[in-house]
């Protein structure tokens, strides 16, 4: 028998009714590897494709899921657009599903000042869609930056003053920190990856760079010390900066940071999650 006739001759087990008739919330493939375009560059990405499964169907059509992704790849620009287009295609191809979810994850590189060095970042995009038209989209970036401790800075100033010595001024301990900025809304448009990264770097004590000439390195350290921030300060600053982006008031901003402490044997974590409208209201009331 020719292989191309097997699909016609063999019963489709996936379409059979299951022994235990109960709906499954999410079924599908995880970690499909595809190239995703961001601007002029393409990066290898991992994509999760998930749909719900009704109680009367035994399994999902995995090959149709994958074809939905590949068809969306031909026209989608960027991870969020790919997630959105693939979710729409999943509901078109799998008529038994009432909801589709697509998650795209990748590690990217951007050229950053002052020396056009390649700086890494992580990006995650998510799109969820149901047949009633309800949507949820998320886009998140993870960036390494720094924090400098204002508490120790003040302690050192006070210590030197009490000893009658010349102040050490800006001295304090510093650390690299991993920041994540996530935006969630029914629809996200007009917000680019570069914008999100700039918001994170602008809200930290300073960015980090792969290539720095010696005077530039001194300038970056000085900038860090002049902008000493607790982890708690940094997540607030990033959230307020993100609220100035072109986002609807009902969008949600989530910011997290994990600092690799230089004077402690453990890491420090802080998290903020709030609606954009609420952050803007606080800013108008002077709580900047």
Structure tokens at 151: 């508490």
Q: Please tell me what DSSP assigns to residue 149.
A: -
Ordered domains of the chain (ranges, CATH): 16-105 (3.30.1130.10), 134-288 (3.10.270.10)
Q: Would you say the C-alpha torsion 154, 159, 162, 164 has a positive or negative sign?
A: negative
Q: What is the pLDDT of residue 131?
A: 95
Q: What is the pLDDT of residue 74?
A: 87
How far apart CA 27 and CA 71 sit, in angstroms, is 20
Are the C-beta atoms of residues 257 and 179 closer than 8 Å to each other? Answer: yes
Q: What is the pLDDT of residue 187?
A: 96
Query: How far is CA 174 from each of CA 146, 149, 202, 255, rounded to the nearest angstrom?
Result: 7, 6, 17, 20
Residue positions counted in the chain: 288
Are the C-beta atoms of residues 111 and 126 closer than 8 Å to each other? Answer: no
Q: What is the pLDDT of residue 11?
A: 66
Are the C-beta atoms of residues 79 and 36 closer than 8 Å to each other? Answer: yes
How far apart CA 237 and CA 233 sit, in angstroms, is 6
Residue 71, H or E segment:
helix 62-73
Give a three-class secondary structure readout of 12-39.
CHHHCCCCCCCCEEEEEEEEEEEEEEEC
| Full-model pTM | 0.91
Q: What is the pLDDT along the chain (288 residues), one digit of tens a residue?
A: 566 676 666 667 787 888 999 999 999 999 999 999 988 889 999 999 999 999 999 999 999 999 999 999 988 889 999 999 999 999 999 999 999 999 999 999 999 999 999 999 999 999 999 999 999 999 999 999 999 999 999 999 888 888 887 766 788 999 999 999 999 999 999 899 999 999 999 999 999 999 999 999 999 999 999 999 999 999 999 999 999 999 999 999 999 999 998 898 899 999 999 999 999 999 998 765
Are the C-beta atoms of residues 79 and 187 closer than 8 Å to each other? Answer: no
Q: What is the pLDDT of residue 9?
A: 62
Q: What is the pLDDT of residue 2?
A: 67
Residue 195, H or E segment:
helix 193-203
């Amino acid at each position: 028998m020719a292989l191309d006739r097997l699909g016609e001759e063999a019963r489709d087990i996936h379409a059979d009714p299951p022994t235990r008739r109960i709906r499954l919330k999410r079924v599908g493939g995880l970690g499909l590897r595809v190239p995703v375009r961001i601007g002029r560059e393409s990066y290898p990405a991992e994509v999760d494709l998930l749909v719900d499964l009704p109680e009367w169907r035994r399994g999902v059509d995995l090959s149709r899921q994958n074809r939905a992704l590949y068809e969306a790849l031909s026209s989608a620009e960027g991870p969020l657009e790919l997630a959105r287009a693939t979710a729409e295609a999943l509901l078109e191809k799998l008529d038994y599903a009432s909801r589709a979810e697509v998650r795209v994850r990748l590690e990217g590189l951007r050229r950053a000042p002052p020396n056009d060095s390649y700086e890494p970042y992580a990006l995650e995009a998510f799109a969820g869609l149901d047949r009633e038209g309800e949507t949820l989209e998320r886009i998140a970036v993870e960036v390494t930056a720094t924090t400098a401790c204002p508490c120790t800075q003040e302690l050192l100033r006070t210590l030197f003053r009490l000893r009658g010595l010349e102040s050490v001024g800006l001295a304090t301990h510093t650390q690299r920190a991993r920041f994540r900025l996530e935006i969630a809304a029914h629809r996200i448009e007009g917000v680019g990856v570069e914008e999100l990264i700039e918001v994170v770097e602008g809200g930290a004590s300073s960015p980090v760079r792969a290539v720095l000439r010696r005077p530039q390195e001194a300038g970056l350290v000085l900038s860090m010390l002049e902008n000493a921030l607790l982890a708690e300060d940094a997540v607030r600053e990033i959230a307020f900066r993100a609220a100035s982006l072109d986002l609807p008031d009902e969008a949600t901003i989530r910011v997290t940071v994990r600092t690799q402490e230089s004077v402690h044997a453990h890491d420090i974590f802080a998290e903020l999650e709030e609606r954009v409208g609420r952050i803007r209201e606080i800013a108008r009331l002077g709580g900047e």
